[in-house]
Structure 1
Amino acid sequence: MSSGTLAKPIMRGMLAKRLRIHLPIALGLSIFVGAMVKFTVTEPRKRSYAEFYKNYDAMKEFEAMREAGVFQSVGPKGK
């Protein structure tokens, strides 16, 4: 077995070289994931909220909760 010396690793400029490769990849992935979240989570949620509030009657909901006795300070109608 020969006991040869190992070559010194090239350390100068290593960070800059790695950043040139990894920074665009990270930027591209973050834009892609952001767009996927927007179109798969945010937009459907906005549509469902808009659909819900299109026919929502807050006073009708309040009256139903009051009749059910949900509120402590507001009794059923007529009492």
Structure 2
Amino acid sequence: MSAALLPKPQMRGLLASRLRKHIVVAFLFSMGCAAGYKFGVAEPRKRAYAEFYKNYDAMKEFEAMRKAGVFESAPPK
């Protein structure tokens, strides 16, 4: 009598039905991580590089490093 009260377990198509749900969840999670990285890491990094190179003078840096003795081929003056 008690066996009639319990629902029968799903035997066919169980893997396919679970995979469908898990693939959707994994896709949404990966898109969320990608968007979080893009807006949390990549975009601020791009802005920081753009701000740094806006006023960067390569020759001035080179002269400062040369005076400090960083280069062996360009002796300090």
TM-score (ref. length: structure 2): 0.82
CA distance in 1, matches of 2:11, 2:62: 69
- The one-letter code matched in structure 2 to 1:59 is M
**TM-fit CA distance, 1:15:** 1.7
Gaps of 5+ in 2: 1-8
Count of residue pairs the alignment pairs up: 69
1:1-79 alignment runs, 5 A limit: 10-77=10-77
Higher helix share: 2
Of all paired residues, the percent bearing the same amino acid is 67
Q: CA RMSD in A?
A: 1.3
TM-score (ref. length: structure 1): 0.80
CA distance in 2, matches of 1:65, 1:11: 72
